[in-house]
Structure 1
Amino acid sequence: MSNFLERVNEVTQGTLVGVAMTLAREVGIFEILAKTDYPLTSNQVAVAGGLKERYVRELLGCLSTAKLVQISETENGDFQYSLEDGTEEALNGRPGAFLGFCSVMASVFDSVKDCIYKDGPISLRYTDQLQEVLDRKSRINAPGIAKIFLEQIPDLKTKLEEGIDVIEFGSGKGRLCATLAQQFPNSRFVASEAVPDLVQANKDRWAHIPNLTFSLDDLCGIPEVPDKYYDWVFCCDVIHDLPDPVAALQGIKRMLRQPNGLLTFIDVSTSGSPLVDRGDMTVASYYALGTFFCIPESYQRHDSLALGPCSGRQRIASLAQKAGFQVYDSISENKNPSQSIQVSMDVDVSQTSPLSMILDLE
């Protein structure tokens, strides 16, 4: 068999099992197995979850064959299923969060396919289902990202403790902004989004946090003279989703309170070249996510830049420079491109509009 056919089989089989694994997780099969200290039959799992046994049996057959679930046989010939140590931790961490994208990709498959054709629509905005998956991911990542900000940005913690004005653009369901607002009650936080329903939902969700307010903004259309200025602006996985990232960065620059206002953003870090990244399935996964979510979201106009998540750290840095920021590149100690912090970029301290870029390949 040729290498191509071997890879096709490997990727196709992995995709099929991955979708089955996503379904099993969403109907609670993994949670049921994790809560027991002894193996369960498919019927016991079905009863515990209010599920149809025949479907449960088929899913467990898939997962046990793929060695994702442990399987044993009783003296009566019944199969019993259990999880190996560490499975629950993995599913509640970053790998589990990414599983949620499978079902969303399936739900928008036909819509994205229509976008690809020359005579089809050019964009597809983020769906409520995707926002739920992103919030699930944020629930896992928010504490770590907050810690990264405080460790990577000089004097930020002191300033937040004393009290400054902060805004997060593209806040999604607001979890990261809420995390920081609760940690630093003397500072004033704004969670900004471009979707009216999302802004209203965040107002209802986080109403108990007194120093957190909410704003509806078009990041690519910041006024020449902003209504308000901020000491710190931040966003996560947003820049590559914008139709005009340079205009957005220029707009943010106008919003920074001089002379010490700071912009920080986190984005995905790749080489920017599928040739260089060839064989890295993490990067390949980001190209897939880009196809289904990031390109459709950012391709809002025919002249949209539509960066995608794999445009590369150098290109993102060059866009920041084009927007008026002077950036220097400081590689962190962790140089494994598939692990968290790879690159931290900060503006020359002599400049009046500092920029901190933390590019993160998750």
Structure 2
Amino acid sequence: MSGDYKTLVGQITINSHIGFTLALAKDVGIIDALVISDTPLTTSDIAKQKHLKERYVQEILGCLVSVGFVNVKQHESLNRYYISSEGKEVWQVGGFRSSVLFINALMEAYNPVKSCVFADGPYGVNYGAGLMRALDESKTGSENTIKLILGACQGLKERLEEGISVTELGSGWGRTIGQLATLFPKSKFIASDYSDELVNALKAKWGHLANISFAKLDACHLPTNSIDSVDWIFVIDVIHDLPHPVKALEGIQQMLDKERGLFTAIEIVGSGCHALDAKNLGAAQMYSMSTFLCLPESFQNEDSEAHGACWSKELTVEEFKSAGFCVDVVDLEGSEGREILLICKPVKS
């Protein structure tokens, strides 16, 4: 039995080491160079193309060849490297690419989060640039996200075509709202986030669109004196990252048009029970990411709820309802129950 435990620890440790190298290879462009090339490349080819030091390219490829991510063949005394056609298909899937970039985000967060764990350390830290990049990459499939939301919300597409007001909270780099603004020119969109840096990034990326404006908004301290109500507010993987979700949800409810207002939220959920998650690698991954990313973002002070990414679907729905919403829940296909769409309308008094 102790041998099984030793094997498990050893394998997880080895996989972690390889994962760090894989993330580095993706981040500096080695993977991209191999994916787009129709012919095998030498380390010199890759180094010149991506402006890298060849010696580092050699060592990184040594790891990737050893584990089987990259293939190598010798030709005229030179090693030439390539990724199989099957491998290229995998790398072209947005969600897979972003999962590798999340490793970078975890590495970036390691020391700040380590200080938070100690009793006399800070409670939390805000997201870094590495996570924002990974999140943006994960939304390369935002066309599917838009299709999902429009398909689940009856009449929303038609309203967008006619022209309504739309606000996204926690836009990040704005890939989803930017595509919506492009698809529906008659509607008016507000992209928002809580920092000047992110708002400026949104302006730089989407400022050319006439029907989109930008705002610095803290979801837990939304304006209460706005004259204009909003027809549709949406968030993607935001609510569990907030220190006070119910307070934020109550603020969102107040911003919505009371007659036809719609709020949609895509949320990550788990079982909410460690015993139920025992020996579940998918759950282990989510707890790990939550430890380094979601928990520190939401644990901003002593009284933060700090749910993390593994809060249960039941608790999620309960908090949405307690904020004054009627809620319908759609389980997202392919997420194995770990991601849901909440379709919310204000309870009419």
Q: Given the two structures, how large is their TM-score scaled by the length of structure 1?
A: 0.89
CA drift at 1:224? 4.1
Task: Name the residue aligned to 1:30.
Answer: 31
Letter in 2 for 1:338: E
Task: Name the residue aligned to 1:356.
Answer: none
Q: State how far apart, in whole Å, the 1-side matches of 2:44 and 2:330 are.
A: 55
CA drift at 1:300? 1.2
Task: Name the residue aligned to 1:82.
Answer: 82
Contact 2:163 2:187 in 1 (8 A): yes
Letter in 1 for 2:126: R
CA drift at 1:113? 0.3
Contact 2:262 2:343 in 1 (8 A): no
Contact 1:282 1:338 in 2 (8 A): no
Asked if 1:122 corresponds to 2:123, the answer is yes
Q: State how far apart, in whole Å, the 2-side matches of 1:214 and 1:83 are.
A: 41
RMSD over aligned CA atoms reads: 2.2
Contact 2:165 2:189 in 1 (8 A): yes
CA drift at 1:102? 1.5
Secondary structure at 1:301 match in 2: coil
Could you tell me the percent identity over the aligned residues? Answer: 35
Contact 1:122 1:301 in 2 (8 A): yes
Task: Name the residue aligned to 1:72.
Answer: 73
Letter in 1 for 2:89: E
Q: State how far apart, in whole Å, the 2-side matches of 1:203 and 1:36 are.
A: 34
For residues 245 and 45 of structure 1, do their structure 2 counterparts lie closer, same or farther at Cα, with a shift above 3 Å needed? Answer: same
Structure 2: segments with no counterpart, 5+ residues: none
Letter in 2 for 1:321: K
Q: State how far apart, in whole Å, the 2-side matches of 1:71 and 1:308 are.
A: 42
Q: How does 1:289-308 map to 2 (within 5 A)?
A: 289-308=289-308
Task: Name the residue aligned to 2:138.
Answer: 137
CA drift at 1:132? 2.5
Deviations 1:147-186 (A, max 9, x none): 1111111110011011111100011112211110110111
Task: Name the residue aligned to 1:221.
Answer: 221
Task: Name the residue aligned to 1:280.
Answer: 280
Task: Name the residue aligned to 1:110.
Answer: 111
Letter in 1 for 2:348: T
Contact 2:267 2:340 in 1 (8 A): no
Contact 1:269 1:337 in 2 (8 A): no
Q: How does 1:313-328 map to 2 (within 5 A)?
A: 313-328=313-328
Q: State how far apart, in whole Å, the 2-side matches of 1:246 and 1:339 are.
A: 23
Contact 1:101 1:130 in 2 (8 A): yes
Task: Name the residue aligned to 1:51.
Answer: 52
Letter in 1 for 2:117: I
Q: State how far apart, in whole Å, the 2-side matches of 1:331 and 1:74 are.
A: 51
Contact 1:24 1:59 in 2 (8 A): yes
CA drift at 1:74? 4.1
For residues 337 and 133 of structure 1, do their structure 2 counterparts lie closer, same or farther at Cα, with a shift above 3 Å needed? Answer: closer
Letter in 2 for 1:27: V
Deviations 1:317-352 (A, max 9, x none): 1111111223344557x4x54388x644445x8943
Q: State how far apart, in whole Å, the 1-side matches of 2:341 and 2:175 are.
A: 23
Task: Name the residue aligned to 1:257.
Answer: 257
Q: State how far apart, in whole Å, the 1-side matches of 2:7 and 2:227 are.
A: 58
Between Structure 1 and Structure 2, which shows a larger proportion of helix residues? 2
> Does 114-123 or 321-330 show the bigger shift?
321-330
Contact 1:225 1:254 in 2 (8 A): no
Contact 2:35 2:91 in 1 (8 A): no
Q: State how far apart, in whole Å, the 2-side matches of 1:280 and 1:132 are.
A: 27
For residues 280 and 338 of structure 1, do their structure 2 counterparts lie closer, same or farther at Cα, with a shift above 3 Å needed? Answer: farther
Secondary structure at 2:85 match in 1: coil
CA drift at 1:106? 1.6
Q: Size of the alignment, in residue pairs?
A: 347
Task: Name the residue aligned to 2:241.
Answer: 241
Secondary structure at 2:308 match in 1: coil
Q: State how far apart, in whole Å, the 2-side matches of 1:346 and 1:164 are.
A: 17
Q: How does 1:178-193 map to 2 (within 5 A)?
A: 178-193=178-193
For residues 12 and 225 of structure 1, do their structure 2 counterparts lie closer, same or farther at Cα, with a shift above 3 Å needed? Answer: same
Letter in 2 for 1:259: E
Letter in 2 for 1:202: L
Letter in 2 for 1:15: S
Deviations 1:216-264 (A, max 9, x none): 1121122444343101110001000101000000111111102120110
CA drift at 1:213? 0.6
For residues 352 and 183 of structure 1, do their structure 2 counterparts lie closer, same or farther at Cα, with a shift above 3 Å needed? Answer: farther
Contact 1:258 1:352 in 2 (8 A): yes
